[in-house]
Every structure is written in C-alpha cells, then in structure tokens.
Amino acid sequence: MAILNSTRLPILLAMLAAMLLAATQIHAQRIKDIADIEGVRGNALIGYGLVVGLNGTGDSGTSSPFTINSITALLERLGVNVRADISKMKPKNIAAVMVTAELSAFARPGQQLDVTVSSIGDAKSLRGGTLLVTPLLGGDGNPYAVAQGGLSVGGFSAGGKGSGQTKNHPTAGTIPNGARIEKAAPYGLSPDQDRISLSLRRPDFTTAKSLQDAINAVLGEGMARAINPSTVQVWNPNSNTVELIASLEQINVPVDNTAVVIVDERTGTIVMGQDVRIDTVAVAHGNITISVAENPEVSQPHAFASGQTTTVDRTKVDVDEEEARLVVLPKQVSLSELVGALNAVGATPSDLMAVLQAIKAAGALHAELRTM
C-alpha cells in the first residue's frame, strides 16, 4: 500500500476542501440574484408623441384622425393656423406613436434613458423617422422625462400594388439615450433607516429560512429574521444602509425550487425542472389514424337503355391503429430518466402533454403542472 508524501498531503487536503466547498455551492445563489430591496424599484413611463420625416409610410387621415388632430394642435402651439385646411391634410409622412421607458431607482435629473417607440395608427413603417418632443409621465400623471430623437428600426416594409415584403417589425423602434430625466422618481429607502427588508422574487418557506440563516452566519446571530415566505428583515446597527446592502448582496444562499412542469400547448413546448419525480406508473401510448377518401364514380347505362347517367359515391375508410408500447417508469426516477422513458414511448410534444396530464391525474407526478 502506497503511503502519501507528507509534503503532498496538505495540498491534497486543500484541493479536497475546495472541491467540497464548490459542491456545497452548486445550488447556491447570491442574494442579489434572488431578492429585491423594498423601496428600490423601477418606474414605468409612458407618453404620446408624433414621429415625422417618414417616406410616405405614416398614418392615413381617414383611419387615424387623431394624428391630424395632434398635428393641428402642435402647429397652433407653434403659431401656425391650419384649421381652414384641416380637411385637406394627408399626413403620410407623420405617425402617432406611444413612447415607453423604464425609470430606474435613484435615477437623477440630467441622466438619459433608452425609449421604445410604437405606432398606434395604421403607419406601415417608422424607419427614418424622428420623434418630436414627448413628455413621459409616471403612474401618478406627473412628467419625469422628455424624449426626442431619431428612431432606430430593425426592419423594413416595401411593396407595390401586387405584392410586398416585410422584414422584422417596422412599426416599432428604439431611441438609445433618447430621453433625459427632468425629475427624480420617489423612493422609499433612507440612508440611515434602522432595518431593511429583502423580498424574495420566488416566495418559498425553505429559501426564506436559508436566507435568514446565511445572513446571521455572516453578520451575527439575530441580525436577520424571516417574517413570511417572501420577506426577510435585516437590522442596520451602523445606520449605513448602502454599506449593509452591499455586503448582503454577495452572500450565497442555497435555493430550494418547487418542482414544476410547464406545458405550452400553443407551441408544443414542455419544460421540466430537475426536481420533478414520479411514482411507479405504466404508460401505454398509441395513435389511431383514420383516413377517409371520396372517389365518386360515373354510372352510365348501355346504349339504347332507358336509364340516366348519374354519379355514384364511393367512400373508402382506412383505420390504422399503432401498436401501443407499454413502458413502466419506476418510482422516483430522475428528470433524464423520465425524458428518456417518454421518448422511448415515441410520443410527440402534443402526446407528451397528454401523457404528463394523465400521470398527474393518476397522482403519480410529484410536481406542479402549469399550462400556459
């Protein structure tokens, strides 16, 4: 039996300890990635504006009368009276749009935001257009930013009377740094508050308890307390909120996820988590295909006969039933074994949905089955 060299033993032990530490952190995530700080949140902004400079791809006057009204109001504010000729307006170079943006927490006046511009009329394309000054309002109705600039559209639409071609989505575009913040958004976080609250993005009792224990292991016993499955309160003894949050964000927490199977019947997509388990169950799968063919035949009497020429229906029905393959799935199989067994049955995505729903109805699927 070989004896390890005394100089190599500490190195091997250190490598083993590192491997064990990595193994324990495989399912751990940073608090920054699984929880939010109460009082720190973004704010949605929205505004109504006009895009000008389009090459005949804007709104029509008949289908989008609000575009003409907006142009008239804008020109009158600029000192141009067009009320007398409003009936002759054909705003093919102008489009009415909705402008949206996200105002991040603690954003200060003078900073810039990316905005998204989307047509609300019958414009064919916003390519090459310029957004005019558009106030962006928050949920309280107050303006927080002003947007303006040239659009970046990742698509085009072209065609004539006979045919046309469209690539991507030409009626929506973006303006990078297209809005400037004029007013800071309100927030509910004080730099010296006595405690902060962490909100889990996926509420779970086990994860909340693990979050509490991980924080207490780093900051000291009693510093954190789980209030409910989604909220953990942390004391701020030094009255330094920024320093406390920065230290909390990097703590690793083991996350316990619920076993879920997602079924999207519209696209035939099935997604299963690694914790999905089933009890012993037998699955038989087979398709029945019925083909109906109509072959009408002409029945014509012989010469000099008194009959009439008629059409006689001839229907042929074929039934093809596939041989059902019975597969026994053992208790507590893993995700890979479950997928392999279902593939062995020869089921398509649509059939897999029916199989999973039947296993769930039988009480053998230990996971939440969600249908989108």
Rounded CA-CA distance 216/193 in Å is: 19
What is the percent of the chain where pLDDT is above 70?
69
Sequence-ordered alpha helix ranges (H) in the chain: 9-24, 31-34, 65-77, 205-219, 241-249, 335-345, 349-361
Rounded CA-CA distance 131/119 in Å is: 11
Mean pLDDT calculated for residue range 182-192 = 82
DSSP class of residue 332 equals T
Rounded CA-CA distance 178/109 in Å is: 14
- Judged by average pLDDT, the poorest of 23-27, 185-189, 229-233 is 23-27
Q: What is the pLDDT of residue 16?
A: 40
Rounded CA-CA distance 197/281 in Å is: 45
Q: What is the pLDDT of residue 363?
A: 79
DSSP class of residue 369 equals E
By CB atoms closer than 10 A (0-12, 13-18, 19+), residue 60 is: middle
- Judged by average pLDDT, the poorest of 215-219, 296-300, 321-325 is 321-325
- Judged by average pLDDT, the poorest of 173-182, 280-289, 303-312 is 280-289
pLDDT at 212 exceeding the cut of 80: yes
Q: What is the pLDDT of residue 41?
A: 83
DSSP class of residue 324 equals P
Mean pLDDT calculated for residue range 20-33 = 61
What is the percent of the chain where pLDDT is above 90?
26
pLDDT at 5 exceeding the cut of 80: no
Give me 54's structure tokens.
Answer: 């389009």
Give me 207's structure tokens.
Answer: 């994860």
**R_g (Cα) of the chain, nearest Å:** 33
Amino acid at 307: G
Amino acid at 134: T
Sign of dihedral through CA atoms 260, 265, 270, 276? positive
Rounded CA-CA distance 339/236 in Å is: 48
Rounded CA-CA distance 239/261 in Å is: 44
- Highest mean pLDDT, choosing among 185-189, 233-237, 331-335, 338-342: 233-237
Question: Which one has a higher pLDDT value, 61 or 197?
Answer: 197
CB contact at 8 A, 326 and 282: yes
pLDDT at 43 exceeding the cut of 80: yes
Q: Which pTM value belongs to this model? A: 0.64
Rounded CA-CA distance 104/111 in Å is: 11
Q: pLDDT class for 72, splitting at 50, 70, 90? A: confident
Q: Taking Cα atoms as reference points, which of 124, 112, 199 lies closest to residue 169? A: 124
Q: What is the pLDDT of residue 304?
A: 63
Q: What is the pLDDT of residue 87?
A: 63
Mean pLDDT calculated for residue range 60-87 = 79
**What is the per-residue pLDDT across 84-119, written as a single tens digit (0 to 9) for each?**
666 667 778 899 999 999 998 888 899 999 999 999
Q: Which residue has the tokens 């033993």?
A: 9
- Judged by average pLDDT, the poorest of 184-188, 221-225, 236-240, 273-277 is 273-277
Opening angle at CA 33, ends 42 and 246, nearest 5:
80
Q: What is the pLDDT of residue 157?
A: 60
Q: pLDDT class for 132, splitting at 50, 70, 90? A: very high
Kindly provide the b/e burial profile for residues 304-324, where b requires at least 16 CB atoms within 10 angstroms of the residue's own CB.
eeeeeeeeeeeeeeeeeeeee
Read off φ and ψ for residue 304, nearest 5 degrees: 65, 10
Q: What is the pLDDT of residue 63?
A: 75
- Judged by average pLDDT, the poorest of 92-106, 121-135, 160-174, 276-290 is 276-290
Question: Which one has a higher pLDDT value, 245 or 259?
Answer: 245
Sequence-ordered alpha helix ranges (H) in 220-348: 241-249, 335-345
Rounded CA-CA distance 362/295 in Å is: 45
CB contact at 8 A, 25 and 191: no
H or E stretch at 134? strand 130-137
Q: In the predicted model, what is the mean pLDDT of the chain?
A: 77
Question: Which one has a higher pLDDT value, 283 or 11?
Answer: 283
Q: pLDDT class for 51, splitting at 50, 70, 90? A: very high
Q: What is the pLDDT of residue 345?
A: 59
Q: Which residue has the tokens 């639409």?
A: 157
**What is the per-residue pLDDT across 251-299, written as a single tens digit (0 to 9) for each?**
999 887 778 888 777 777 777 777 777 777 776 666 544 455 556 776 7
CB contact at 8 A, 364 and 278: yes
